[in-house]
């Protein structure tokens, strides 16, 4: 055997030994990795609190990464806090009212859908016509959940929060006045009390606007009843024109400025 052949054969043996060693190392490495994964799985299965902590940490890390990329922190549960619903899922009457109010007051139909549905549900519980509840909201705030009058009436139904703060106790406190559905429920309760106290719808509306001790209510009751009638016609499937002019919230009008003491005395009388 020549020197060249010996060198070639030695080189082949050397390469073969290296390849065999690499295979054994990687094989053992994959085996160790498999064992590690198996033991980790067994541990997480036996200790669910560790698994939950790991999942929470992973979610936090992913959110931090997404925030770094997007420039803001994502909140997947934000949709649960939104006051909105699909108008197509509403009964025919409610959907008709939703779209009509949406056009008239330039409000998105999705939040209006939630308000209309709540008005119907609350109205059924309190024996008040839901279209009356919606008419009060229309005249009071134009469906602005953050509206505030110059006498301190707040939210969709323009409830006097300072006077009726106790009614918000079951909703977490007075700041709930700016939650649309909560304000609607509290406002309906106040309206129901006013109608009962006055003995009539017109008288109750006068109480509600704080004009019970005045000769005139600034046209408030007439506006509410007119809108109420239009909404009843819409619910009945009739074609009702949408007026471009918006209704100005009456409680912010100069004609009616009841002071707090007067309102309290009226409600406690």
Domain identity same for 217 and 261:
yes
Instruction: Output the average pLDDT for the chain.
Output: 80
pTM for the model stands at 0.67
3-state secondary structure the chain: CCHHHHHHHHHHHHHHHHHHHHHHHHHHHHHHHHHHHHHHHHHHHHCHHHHHHHHHHHHHHHHHHHHHHHCCCCCCCHHHHCCCCCHHHCCHHHHHHHHHHHHHHCCCHHHHHHHHHHHHHHHHHHCCCHHHHHHHHHHHHCCCCCCECCCCEECCCCEECCCCHHHHHHHCCHHHHHCHHHHHHHHHHHHHHHHHHHCCHHHHHHHHCCCCCCCCCCCHHHHHHHHHHHHHHHHCCCCCCCCCCCCCCHHHCCCCCCCHHHHHHHHHC
The 10s digit of each residue's pLDDT in 220-252 is 999 999 999 999 999 999 999 987 444 445 544
Domain identity same for 179 and 255:
yes
**What integer pLDDT is reported at residue 253 of this predicted model?**
41
Domain identity same for 62 and 172:
no
Domain count, the chain: 2
Domain identity same for 133 and 259:
yes
Domain identity same for 36 and 113:
no
> What residue numbers bound the domain in which 175 lies?
87-268
| Confidence category of residue 193, pLDDT binned at 50, 70, 90 | very high
Instruction: Compare 242 and 2 and report the one with higher pLDDT.
Output: 242
| Confidence category of residue 213, pLDDT binned at 50, 70, 90 | confident
Is 79 a member of any domain?
Answer: no
**What integer pLDDT is reported at residue 254 of this predicted model?**
39
């Amino acid at each position: 055997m020549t020197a060249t052949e010996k060198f070639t054969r030695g080189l082949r043996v050397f390469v073969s030994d290296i390849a065999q060693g690499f295979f054994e190392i990687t094989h053992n490495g994959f085996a160790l990795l498999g064992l590690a994964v198996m033991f980790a799985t067994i541990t997480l299965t036996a200790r669910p609190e560790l698994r939950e902590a790991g999942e929470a940490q992973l979610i936090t890390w992913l959110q931090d990464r997404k925030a770094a990329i997007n420039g803001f922190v994502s909140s997947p549960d934000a949709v649960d806090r939104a006051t909105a619903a699909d108008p197509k899922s509403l009964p025919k009457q409610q959907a008709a009212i939703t779209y009509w109010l949406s056009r008239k007051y330039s409000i998105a139909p999705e939040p209006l859908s939630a308000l209309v549905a709540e008005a119907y549900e609350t109205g059924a519980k309190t024996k008040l016509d839901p279209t009356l509840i919606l008419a009060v909201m229309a005249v009071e705030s134009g469906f602005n959940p953050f509206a505030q009058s110059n006498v301190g009436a707040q939210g969709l139904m323009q409830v006097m929060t300072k006077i009726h703060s106790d009614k918000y106790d079951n909703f977490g406190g007075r700041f709930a006045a700016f939650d649309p559905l909560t304000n609607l429920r509290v406002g309906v309760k106040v309206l129901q009390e006013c109608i009962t106290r006055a003995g009539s719808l017109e008288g109750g509306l006068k109480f509600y606007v704080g004009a019970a001790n005045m000769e005139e209510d600034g046209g408030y009751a007439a506006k509410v009843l007119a809108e109420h009638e239009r909404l009843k016609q819409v619910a009945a499937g009739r074609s009702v024109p949408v007026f471009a002019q918006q209704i100005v919230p009456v409680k912010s009008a100069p004609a009616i400025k009841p002071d707090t003491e007067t309102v309290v005395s009226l409600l406690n009388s």
